[in-house]
Chain A
Amino acid sequence: MPLKTTNIVSAAQTKFGKLDGLTLREIFSEAVDKATVDAGVPKEDIQAAFIGTFIPEMLVHQGHTAPLLLDYAGLKGLPATRHEAACASGATALRAGIMAIESGIYDTVLVVGAEKMTSVSTNKATEALAAAADDTFESSIGLTFPGVFGIAAVSHMQKYGTTEEDMARVAVKAHKNASTNPLAQFQKEISLEKAMTPRYIAWPLKLFDCSPISDGAAAIVLTSAEKAKQYTDTPVRILGTGQASASMNLCGRKELTSFEASVAASKQAYDMAKLSPKDMDFAVVHDCFTIAEIIASEDIGFFKPGEGAKAVRDGVTALDGDKPINPMGGLKAVGHPVGATGVKQAVVIYKELIGEAGANQVQNHDTAIMHNFGGTGATCVVNVMRRADA
């Protein structure tokens, strides 16, 4: 059965990028204010908060972030829990919020994702990110995150004929979409030639196949169907949600050209929503690396296995294509403050569905799917959303 009552009534993100001079709590607080008081949702109405942060312990030497951040944002006293699932931290916080509303325990809750990554050196940030892979059996022999997706790319190239140029086209599309997104880290188009610059990070992945290190936060307010209209004329319903896990180790998976947790979570979300990929107008997927977007576009059922690269080549996933993917610019060009990403994806879907995406507005915008996955793909969360009046 579709979810009964969960609605998004406001959603906002901060600028993503290197936010010099701002600490985690300040960035967090800005996103909260934009999604509450600035959007006509009084803070007094919020009854609980679900917060995604990945690894502030290593990035800003701070644990127990939920109450700390909530206090700074003027919400001291509320139940506040931090959710961690690597790059899917934000979406697991969102799922906890969804379950809280569906259970009837609360009418209105806040979901926030945030990360401050640039106050440490790039090497330190990379080391922190590596904690999302299996330290004992993979990181300890020198496998890196780009390496994980390099392995997936090699398998996809071998099995389906996907090329480095196909992956570069994903980066070109991301930068093109982000060029008109004022909150993106990179608001600049890049040429295919530039995307192909052979600065290898983990062969066959090059510099422009990788998402950047970023600071940023995103926040959304969830409420019941009963209360939704008191905040907005255009609430967005969450109809289906799915979550699955898989082996952290790549060697523990039979399939390297698809992420089994993505496939499983997508099926759960579609089944719950009683909808299928053909009902989706667009998607926001986890493009931590270009190959990840190609594989995700197949795993969510937009394209058959092996046909994701062709869809990019043919412009099907472009902003003006039949199945736009990452219409605001994705992680690749908007930035990837890890804990914020899953919530930011919901912000993008909300803005697109209600027709407030400006220059990045997709043409058909009734129903969409978001796909957020963590680390090596060991966690995946998928949500299906539809504008309440659609």
Chain B
Amino acid sequence: MSDRPTIEEYRAKITNKQFQAYKCVGCGAVITPPSGTCYSCGNNEMDWTDVSGKGTLVSFTVIHIAPDEFVDEAPYYIAIIELEEGSRVTCRLEGFDPLKPEEVELGVPVSLTYITEGEKTYLAFKPT
């Protein structure tokens, strides 16, 4: 295993329901999903950090026509969440009716959870 955080580990942490983000060693910026270089200071040394799991809903869609691999899960939400730490993730949403997307308000507080579908575990957020 590499000394540096790796993408494989990042994904494994989601699968194991122990989500962690990258943190820039140079300036402390929290980075999700992984990047090889810090968006804030340009440093390329990264470490792991826990996150509070709190965030807000930035935007979303509901996938009705899904690729073969996801057909059985449709319709499902895909959302952009801004973490309290300032960085964003693309993830699933839980706790909203996929047939009533017009009832979902942007900007609402959400908190981290996971959705399991068969052998897959997705990073997800639900209303706080």
Contacts and interface: CB of A to CB of B under 8 A. Distances in A.
Contacts of B91: 141
Q: Is the interface of A mostly helix, strand, loop or mixed?
A: helix
A376 to B, nearest CB: 11
A375 interface: no
A158 B106 contact: yes
Interface in A132-181: 136-139, 141-144, 146-148, 150-155, 158
A154 B62 CA distance: 10
A137 B7 CA distance: 10
A47 B89 CA distance: 47
A123 B70 CA distance: 12
B76 interface: yes
A41 interface: no
Contact of B32 (A139, A141, A158, A251): A251
Given A130-B67, A142-B78, A154 B60 contact: yes
A141 B62 contact: no
B92 interface: yes
A126 interface: yes
A146 B64 CA distance: 10
A218 to B, nearest CB: 28
B63 interface: yes
A141 B78 contact: yes
Given A249-B33, A251-B33, A256-B58, A146 B65 contact: yes
B5 to A, nearest CB: 14
Interface in B64-107: 64-70, 73, 75-76, 78, 80-81, 87-92, 101, 106
Interface in A106-144: 123, 126-127, 130, 136-139, 141-144
A137 B14 CA distance: 11
Contacts of A127: 67-68
B110 to A, nearest CB: 14
B70 A201 contact: no
B67 A202 contact: no
A154 B65 contact: no
A204 interface: yes
B122 interface: yes
B63 A202 contact: yes
B92 A202 contact: no
Contacts of B66: 142, 144
B77 to A, nearest CB: 9
Nearest to A203: B62
Given A141-B78, A250-B80, A250-B90, A126 B61 contact: no
Interface of A: 123, 126-127, 130, 136-139, 141-144, 146-148, 150-155, 158, 200-205, 249-252, 256
16 contacts: A137-B33, A137-B90, A142-B63, A142-B69, A142-B92, A146-B63, A150-B61, A150-B63, A151-B61, A155-B58, A200-B62, A202-B64, A204-B101, A251-B33, A251-B88, A256-B58
Given A142-B76, A143-B78, A158-B59, 14 more contacts: A127-B67, A139-B67, A141-B122, A144-B63, A146-B65, A147-B61, A148-B61, A150-B61, A153-B61, A155-B106, A200-B62, A202-B62, A202-B64, A251-B81
9 tightest CB-CB pairs across the interface, nearest first?
A: A150-B61, A251-B88, A203-B62, A142-B70, A137-B33, A200-B64, A251-B90, A155-B59, A147-B61
